[in-house]
Amino acid sequence: MTISFQQLKKKDDNQVKEYLIQDFINSIIDDVKSFNNGEAITRVDPSKYYLETITIRDEFLELLIMSKYVVDGHKYMIEALEKIYNAHHFDGRKDIFHLLCYELVIYLTAFYIKYNRYTEISYLINHKYILYNNGTLNNTPSSLTSLREYNEQFDIFIKQRDNKNYYSGIAHYWLEAINETVCDADDFIYADEFLYNASIFIFKYDPWAYWFPIMYCYDRYTTNIKKLSMKLKTKEYLDTFSLCLGFSNIMAFKAKFKEIEQKANNHNIFKQIKYNGSFDRAVTVFDYVKSEELGIF
C-alpha cells in the first residue's frame, strides 16, 4: 500500500482528508496525462500500451481502498474515473484509457459489493457522467454504460498472444491480471454480471444499451445470479436492491419488474445478450425469480 495514501486512515478532520484525496487524485491524473512521456499516440498499439497502464490501475485501486476512510469517498473516486476518461479525448491515448475506465468500473462495483456499500453502488450506477467524445464535450450527460468501451485490437492481441480463441481476450486478460487486494476473480465476474442486471432496469427494453457482461462465460453454473435472485425473495434485500437502482420504494420496483418480465416473455429481449457462436447467453434475475416471488420472505 502506498504510504502517502495511508494518511487517509489517520483521525484528521475530514476536511483535511478531502484535500488529501484530491491531491492524490490529481497525482494519478498527472500520471495519466504524462503516459508515454506525454507524447500523443496517433495509432494505438494496445499490445504495447495498455499493458503498461497496470501501474496506474493499481495506484487508483490503492486509493479506492483508502477512500473508505473519507466521508463520501466514493464521490471522489467516481470523479477521478471521469477525469481519467476525459484526460486524452484529443489523441490516440483515449482508447487506452477508455478501456482502463471500463475495467475500473467493474473494480469499483466489486469493491462496493464486497463491503455491502449499496449507496455507493447506486451513485456509480445512476451518476450522470460529463464526457468528451472525439474531442468534443457531449451535449448531454452520459450514463454509466458509456464508460463500457471495448477495444477490438487489444482483444485480438491477447488471443494471438496465447494462440487461443477466447470468447473475449480482454476478459481473459483482466482475470489473469486481477488485483486481489481489491477483489478476487469471482467478485470481479459477479460485479460485471450485476452491472448487466442493473442496466436492464435502467434501459428496460433496449438490449443494445445494456451493460454487456463480458465475464459471464466464466460463471459456468450461473451461481452468482442465482444467489442474487434468491436474495430478491427477501424483503430486506429487495428494499436494498430497489433503492440501489434508484427506485423510491419496493412497490415501484415490483411494478417495473413485472412490466419488464412480461416484455421479456413476449419478445425474448434477453436472448441477444450472448457471444457469437455461444449457445449460452448471460442470465438475469428474471431467469430465477418471478415477480410474485419478490420479497415473500
pLDDT by residue for the chain (297 residues), tens digit each?
A: 455 788 888 767 888 899 999 999 999 999 999 997 756 565 556 666 899 999 999 999 999 999 999 999 999 999 999 999 999 887 778 889 999 999 999 999 999 999 999 999 999 999 999 998 877 888 899 999 999 999 999 999 999 999 999 999 999 999 999 999 999 999 999 999 999 999 999 876 677 789 999 999 999 888 999 999 999 999 999 999 999 999 999 999 999 999 999 988 777 888 889 999 898 999 999 999 999 999 999
Contact 277/221 with Cβ under 8 angstroms? no
Determine the Cα–Cα distance for residues 100 and 25; give it in Å rounded to an integer.
16
pTM over 0.85: yes
Q: What are phi and psi of 284, to 5 degrees?
A: -130, 170
- Return the pLDDT at 99: 95
Angle between helices 73-86 and 54-66 (to 10 degrees): 160
* CA contacts within 13 A on the Cβ side of 176: 11
Domain ranges of the chain: 4-183, 210-297
Angle between helices 14-33 and 54-66 (to 10 degrees): 170
Contact 56/43 with Cβ under 8 angstroms? no
pLDDT one-digit tens code per residue, 93-106:
888 999 999 999 99
- Return the pLDDT at 90: 77
CA distances from 51 to 56, 62, 188, 266 (A): 10, 18, 19, 44
CA distances from 92 to 138, 146, 152 (A): 18, 18, 14
pLDDT one-digit tens code per residue, 188-232:
999 999 999 999 998 766 777 899 999 999 998 889 999 999 999
- Return the pLDDT at 1: 46
- Return the pLDDT at 43: 59
User: In a 3-state reduction of DSSP, which class is residue 247?
Assistant: coil
Determine the Cα–Cα distance for residues 117 and 123; give it in Å rounded to an integer.
10
